[in-house]
Every structure is written in C-alpha cells, then in structure tokens.
Chains A and B, each alone.
Chain A
Amino acid sequence: MLILTCPYCGVQAEETELHPGGEAHLKRVGPDGSDEDFEAYLFARKNPKGVHFERWRHAYGCGKWFLAARCTASLQVFGTYKAQNPYPPAEIVDAIRAHRPDWQPDWTVQHAQAESPAE
C-alpha cells in the first residue's frame, strides 16, 4: 500500500485517499511554441524506471494537488512537496541522493533558483 504525506494538511494518506496525476513539472508551452514543443508537453513522458516526480491530489482529504518523488522500480517514496515548487526542492534532492548516489537531476541549479517560489 502506497502511503504519501500530504504537504498541506500533514495527513499520512494511503493510496485510496489519493488521486494520481502523472508526471510533475511539465512546462506549459505558450502560443509561440513549436509543434514539437506542444506535442512533447501534451504527450511525451519520461516514464523513468527509477526516480519519478509526479503529481498527486489529496482527493478524499484537503483536495489539494501536491508533488511526490518516488522510485517506480522499488516503490520507495523519497518525499512530498507543495505543487508551487517549479523544481524539486533541495531536501528532496538530498533525500534521493542519500538512497541513489548515482542519480542526476535533469534540470540545472540556475533554473531552480530563478524560478523558486516567493513564499
């Protein structure tokens, strides 16, 4: 049974309380995007066998969308975080690194700083 902690209400929610929402951190393509960009945004998915960042909704709880870092090959959960983060926060990255030393983020630190939320 998959258990994720909702970062909003703090409840340890089990799977039947949650609704899965697929890959996280997809960047919406604007009107000047190319056909390729738009297709990738809509359809192409990383679908990794390993570390996956994904959207979940606390459907039968507070109702909010949040994000989770999880391993699709072992079902290990590295942590959850609020959906306002444009990139996974440092604690999550550290938690993943602690278990998967070889894992590399596919975004750059500059990105992450430039777009970090003004809380």
Chain B
Amino acid sequence: MPSDAPRSGRYSVFAIAREALRQHSGWKRAWASPEPRGRYKVIVIGAGGHGLATAYYLGRNFGITDVAVLEKGWLGGGNTGRNTTIIRSNYLQDPSAALYEKARSLYETLSQELNYNIMFSPRGLIMLAQTEHEVRGYRRTVHANNLQGVATEWIEPARVKELVPIINLDGPRYPVLGGLYQARGGTARHDAVAWGYARACSDMGMHIIQNCEVIGIETECGQVRAVNTSKGRIGCEKLAIVVAGHSSQLAEMAGFRLPIESVALQALVSEPIKPCMDVVVMANTVHGYMSQSDKGEMVIGGGTDGFNNFTQRGSWHHVEETVRALIETFPMISRLKMLRQWGGIVDMTGDRSPILSATPVGGIFVNCGWGTGGFKAIPGSGWAMAELIAKGTPGPLAAEFGLNRFREGRFIDESVAAGVAH
C-alpha cells in the first residue's frame, strides 16, 4: 500500500537527546491527518481504543492496511479518554477470562510493541469482599481463574491491610472480609493507548480521519457498499462499527437493532497528594473504586445511571453515593478536594459482556457492549475483531461473543463478577 503518511520516526533515548540539542524542533506529528480517499477495503467507524486496535491488528496480523478509521470528534475523545484505566482479567466465565487475559497480557509489552509509552503499571488490584455473599463469589472466581490460567488469589483482611495501609477494615457497615487479588492487574495511560495505536496505524499507511461523522450506511442486496459522512461518501468492502455508546444509532443506519442501552457513567479525580496507595482497590458492594494516578490524584469511579442518556453528564447523587462509600473505606480521603468530574456514555448489554459479531448485513461487523469495563480489553478486542473481519468468521477469542447468543440463550453472565463499573 503506498503511503502518504509522514513517518513519525522512532522514539528512543537517542531521539530525546538529539531533540534536546535542537530545541525539540525535529519531532514530527505522531499521525497524519489526510483527506479521505473514495474507497477503502475496510472502514472502521470510531477512533476509540477498540476501533484503533482493530485497525492496528488488521495490519499487523493480516497485512490489511487499506484501512480508514473514521472519527466524528477527536481520536480517543470518547470513553477511551474518559475512563479510570483499570486493567484486570479476573472474570468468572471462561470466554471472558480468555479475552480479557489476552488483552492484559498484550498490555504487558504494548509499549515496546508500539514504541510508545502507554505507562502500563501492573501495580496489583484488589476487589474487596464486604459481604459473606461476596466472599463466596470471589473464592469461586479465584478457583475459576486458577483453572483458566489467570493468576489471582484470595487474600485475608490482614494482607489487604498490608497492601493498602490507608484502608479501614472495620466497616462499620461493610467490614472488609478479604479480597480477590490480581497481582498483575493495574492501570495504563488511556490517551497513550489511543495515541500509540493511532501512530502505529498511520505509520502502516492507514488513514485516521477525525471530524468525520458517519451519518448513513449504504447497503445493496444485504451487503454494505459505502458510508455517508460529513466529508462525503466513502466506499468500502467491509465495515466495522466500533462506537460504544452510539452503537444503536449506527446499527439503525444499517437497518438492524442491537441489545444495547446507552447510559452515563461518571468518574472524578481529587487534588494531587503524596503517594499513599500503590494498588487499585475496588469495592463493589458499596459501588466505588479508587486508584492513585502517577500525578498523585486519587482517581475515583462508581456506578452508572439507570436511564438512557447521551449527554456525557451523569446524575449528582451517584457521585455522592460513591464518595460516601469510599470515605467509609478510606477515612483519610474525607478532606480531599475533588478537582474534576466527567461522564461517558457506555453501551450496556443484558449479560454485561461485549459483542464481537457479524451482523444481519453482509460485510458489517460490530464491536460494542464493553459498557463500563472495556478499556482493559482494548488490545485483546482489537486482536479478536481483526481476525473476525479478515476471515469473516470469528476465531476462538470472539466465537462466544456473537449476537446470536441472545437468541440462543448462551449468555456470558458477568453481572455478578462485574457488578460495578470499572
């Protein structure tokens, strides 16, 4: 594929030294911003993490680089740039554990692979058990994970306290009874994940076209032909819809419906403080979770709103509930000032598992339903989605996540394991 993309050059310690000597005048743009061509082999709608990773693995694993990624806003401006960056793979069901662990393991070496520092920090992650029910649930998950080859363990309260000195074990209402611990879970820099993939795609000659909203999908005899966009009509052989909260809107353009509802999920960060907690802690019973960013801010998330919403603005009382619960668990944060609060529109399925699937329209594939927890899945999802698009049929990672599971009653029920947003 001929490329009109200026290569961004390799990032290294030598590049930094070289640029330091010439007032940083030699850095090139990380990705090109071309005008769209009339036609591509594959069009991916949505330049979030999942769309960009899909494009990247199409090129890397299948040599397909005649690809455009169309984004209505700026790349990474959707949920990918709005999430609390928790990465874990301690899911209950086998298909989920396989997919999320694939993603987590790809994250381990993603900085090297992309030559872009995504700041993966496997600092460890604890899901607190605060009711007897949760104790049983997480013990079961640990057993399942051990069979699946996902390294997790059950830890007692004393070990929780050792890992998280600022925690209050005694409740009063929900004492900490132990935890599900994944030592190689953690966080990564969300923007960097999007930017790193975008740069790698651009370097392969793919087109990333921002400010390009898809407003219609053209089909002929049940087969996709083109998309209509704010930058005109663009033809394609295959089309991937990877737009999170707007999946229903794109599906409607193509003439089918999805088992998806869009709701707001919020997060907030505090003023930066000195390092006080070097693991990620999730408290699902009381609906809150927290980690400390590299800048020192406490990053806090909670539950979703219960009603359909596209405003990227959630309800105040959810923030209040989350903070109230976390103050019980971490009394020292009660005096912290919160600096920023924001929302994203997440795409919820009934079984809280994603959809990677062919659709009723030939050549159209969807990747959605990641809901409150898809950041952690980006590399694995892109990997599986690229295979689905390239071959037309899903590989082992995506096989169980098809749309037909709803008709056939083969749910991948993660609503217990993932009862809270993350």
Contact = CB atoms under 8 A, between A and B. Distances in A.
**A and B held together in a complex:** yes
Interface of A: 1-2, 15-16, 19-20, 22-23, 35-36, 39-40, 42-49, 52, 54, 70, 72-75
A85 B257 CA distance: 25
B258 A44 contact: yes
Contact of A16 (B248, B317, B406): B317
A76 to B, nearest CB: 11
The secondary structure that dominates the A interface is mixed
Given A39-B406, A42-B406, A72-B311, 15 more contacts: A1-B315, A19-B306, A35-B407, A43-B350, A43-B406, A44-B257, A46-B257, A47-B258, A48-B308, A49-B246, A54-B307, A72-B309, A72-B310, A73-B311, A75-B313
A54 B263 CA distance: 13
Contacts of B262: 47, 49, 72
Interface in B251-285: 257-262
Contacts of B316: 1
Interface string B313-325: 1011100000000
Which of A2, A43, A74: most chain B CB closer than 10 A? A43
B249 interface: yes
Contacts of B311: 72-75
A20 B264 CA distance: 13
Contacts of B317: 1, 15-16
A1 B308 CA distance: 14
A47 B308 contact: yes
A59 B298 CA distance: 34
Interface in B340-397: 350
A3 to B, nearest CB: 12
A20 B407 contact: no
Interface in B283-308: 305-308
